[in-house]
Amino acid sequence: MSEQAHDQLLAEFRPQMLKFARLQLQDGAAAEDVVHDAISAALEGASRFNGRSALKTWIFAILRHKIVDALRERGRTVHISSLEKDEADLDEAFDALFTASAHWHPLSRPRAWGNPEEALEQRQFWQVFETCLELLPANTARVFMMREFLGFETPEICRNLDISTSNCHVILHRARAGLRLCLERGWFNTEGSPAC
C-alpha cells in the first residue's frame, strides 16, 4: 500500500476517531489533540500494514492508548453526579421485566438470541448497536465505554470518576441491562415469542 493510500485511509478514519474520542473525553479540544497524536504516531509505522482492516485495528489501538493516557493524566476531574432522571427511567424499564417477587415476568424472560455472532458481520447490526449506545444516559455510557472499549479495570474507573465500587457495579449493570433490552427490541426481536 502506498504512502498516499495510507494518508487517505487515515483521513477516512478521522471522523470516527474524533467521535469516539469526544464521547470518551467530553471535551472537543482534548479529543482533537488525542486524534492528532494518534494519527501522527500511526503515520510513522503505517507502511508495515497492508490492508484496511489491519490498519484500522492498529490505529484504533493507538487511539485507545492515547485516550487512556489523557484520562489518567486528568485524574479525578470528571464529576459523575448522583442519579439522574434518565438513569432512573432505565432502572424502571429494567424493574418492569420482573414480577413483584423479583423473578422474570413470563413475557419478558430472556430467550436465546440464536447465533448472535452472525450479527457482528452485518453493518446494520452495528448501526443498531451504536444507536443503543447513544440512547444510554451519558454517564452510564461513559462508564460502560471505559470498561468495555478502553479496557479499564473497575477499580481504576471508580478512582478516575471518584465513585464507590458498588456504584460502579450498579452503573455497569444498568448499562448492560439497558443495551441488552435495546438490542433485543431493535435487532433480535425475541421478546414476547413463545417459550418453546
Partner 1 sequence: MLTCKEATHLISEALDRPLSWPERLRLRTHLAFCSGCQAFRRQLDFLRSASRRFLTRRDEDEP
Q: Whole-number minimum distance, CB 57 to partner 1, in Å?
A: 5
Q: Whole-number minimum distance, CB 84 to partner 1, in Å?
A: 20
Helix, strand, or coil here: 151?
Answer: coil
* Candidate residues 9, 20, 35, 49; the one interacting with partner 1 per rule CB under 8 A: 20
Q: Whole-number minimum distance, CB 112 to partner 1, in Å?
A: 5
Q: Whole-number minimum distance, CB 126 to partner 1, in Å?
A: 5
> Among residues 61 and 77, whose Cβ is nearest to partner 1?
61
Give yes or no for residue 68 binding partner 1 (CB under 8 A): no
Please answer whether residues 159 and 76 qualify as being in contact, where contact means their C-beta atoms are separated by less than 8 angstroms. yes
C-alpha grid cell for residue 77? 476531574
Dihedral (CA of 56, 45, 31, 21) sign: positive
Q: CA–CA distance from 123 to each of 57, 58, 126 (Å)?
A: 17, 20, 5
Please answer whether residues 24 and 30 qualify as being in contact, where contact means their C-beta atoms are separated by less than 8 angstroms. no
Helix, strand, or coil here: 104?
Answer: strand
Helix (H) or strand (E) holding 152: none
C-alpha grid cell for residue 50? 497492508
> Among residues 15 and 77, whose Cβ is nearest to partner 1?
15
> Among residues 77 and 109, whose Cβ is nearest to partner 1?
109
- Give the 3-state secondary structure percentages of the chain, helix then strand then coil, rounded to 5: 70, 0, 30
Cell numbers 422474570 correspond to: 104
> Among residues 86 and 184, whose Cβ is nearest to partner 1?
184
* Candidate residues 29, 48, 50, 112; the one interacting with partner 1 per rule CB under 8 A: 112
| Number of residues lying near partner 1 (CB under 8 A) | 42
Task: Kindly list the residues in this chain that would bind partner 1 in the complex (CB under 8 A).
Answer: 16, 20, 52-53, 56-57, 60, 64, 95, 98, 101-104, 109-113, 116-117, 119-121, 123, 126, 129, 144, 147-149, 154, 168-169, 172-173, 176-177, 179-180, 183-184
